[in-house]
Amino acid sequence: MATAAVTAISAAQEATVAATLGRTSGVRLVRRCADVADLVAICTAGRADVAVLSADFTGLDRSTIGALRAAGVGILGVHQPGVEDEQRVLQQWGVRSQLPIGATPTEFAAAVQSVTEGATSRHTPPDASEDPTVSLEAELAAMSDRAAPYVPVNPWLEAPTAEPGPVVPEQTAKIVTVWGPVGAPGRTVLAVNLAAEAARMGVPTVLVDADTYAASIAQHLALLDEAPGIAAATRLADSGHLDLRSLAAVAPEASPGLRVLTGLPRADRWPEIRDDALEAVLEQCRQLGRLIVVDVAAPLEQDEELSYDTTAPRRNAATLTALAAADTVIAVGSADPVGLQRLVRGLDELRSVIGQPPWVVANMVRASAVGSPPEQRVSEALQRFAGVSSPAIVPDDRAAFDGALLAGRVLAEHAAGSTARKAIASLASDLTGASALTRRGRWGRHRESSPQT
């Protein structure tokens, strides 16, 4: 049975590819799509097995690729011979199988068969052969020998004066997602100071504000947020133009070793953060830092009311994507009767989402809210009602937190001797394996111990 193929290729090259597919054994060209809407409609209707795409097709982006994969359609990319930009865009969209425009019918037949086998069923996640996070070596090995493959170069070697920081091997990078139930338990404060402490220990860190309800990392660090970095990064990922250089440009250094992707300044802009684009941003962040700290919103609902329309944006997708991508999840709750009850209930829901035990942090621990000794009271409550043993304890230091927020600084800069700061530094040390309470200068300078106060 012939494989049904559709094309979505720019007008200048479409006729050439269509003619080649017409001579390809085992392939039946069923549609030459005029626009993205036509492409998505025919693929979601189940009339195509393979979509042959070019990077310059008007309106094509990462979200469209994701919709085609969700429909069970295999993706084959074509590009003009030797045009590295087109290869790069397809590569960043996760299109592993690529051919030059002038490939022979035999080569098209082999490529179509390969991508068809990779999309064995509809409405299922793509297998490893089309995983956008595959290694660069596998990506290049899969490209056709007829064209010189696009090989990303180290942008810092090309432009050393930009000082974007050292490139960190992907396998050493760690994503930590900071989550907490509703009710202002201190998610953002913990995420900001955790990232700052890791950076001071000499760990290149990227802080990402993925809260689609009330982003506030920019305010905590006194940064401008008119042009949110997270929105710019996801747009670059969606268009296939996200790389180390462009990510470094939209994630500037807030302090030595700490880069920040600021969040959305208005909550009504949440549709800009789509899950597949955010996933690509987080994976690229692994190349820019050794620790990636992601601040997310509280809601964990799957937006089931939109499940009939899988291409529609989902407001909680950013939170769910960051949790799924995390190597470690930190669940933070405020240490008062209401906050602890919310944390206990939220942990049940969180565990069903992440499938791994989170690190639990009791924040703002004080005797006036839970009795004395507060640390013991909180630990006993979490052990009894949530089965959490040895939670991390962050003492309440309202004056230090308020002063740091007013100054737009982190605790290490505003109140280095704060007990809350020392607890967060200890948590950062546990996460990174680096020494706690250290400070550092610009890249490559000697690290010194911070005076204990």
Task: Write b or e for each residue in 374-408: b if 16 or more Cβ atoms lie within 10 A of its Cβ, otherwise e.
Answer: bbebbbebbeeebebeebbbbbbbeebbeebbeee
- Provide Rg for the chain, Cα atoms: 24
Kindly give the pairing relationship between strand 291-295 and strand 174-179. Answer: parallel
Instruction: Report yes or no: 296 and 261 within 8 Å, Cβ to Cβ.
Output: no
Mean pLDDT for the stretch of residues 249-259: 93
Structure tokens at 133: 């996070």
Is the per-residue pLDDT at 283 higher than 60? yes
- Summarised one tens digit per residue, pLDDT across range 28-53 is 999 999 899 999 999 988 899 999 99
Residues 170 and 267: their CA atoms lie apart, in Å, by: 32
- Summarised one tens digit per residue, pLDDT across range 371-395 is 999 999 999 999 999 999 989 999 9
Residues 185 and 346: their CA atoms lie apart, in Å, by: 12
- Summarised one tens digit per residue, pLDDT across range 298-330 is 999 886 555 555 556 788 999 999 999 999 999
Is the per-residue pLDDT at 137 higher than 80? no
Higher pLDDT, 282 or 306: 282
Is the per-residue pLDDT at 217 higher than 70? yes
Residues 145 and 232: their CA atoms lie apart, in Å, by: 35
Q: What residue spans of 289-410 are helical by DSSP H? A: 317-325, 337-354, 367-370, 374-386, 398-407
Query: What's phi and psi for 230, nearest 5 deg?
Result: -65, -40
Is the per-residue pLDDT at 437 higher than 90? no
Q: What is the pLDDT of residue 143?
A: 36
Range among 133-142, 310-319, 336-345 with highest mean pLDDT value: 336-345
- At residue 142 the predicted structure's pLDDT band, cuts being 50, 70 and 90, is very low
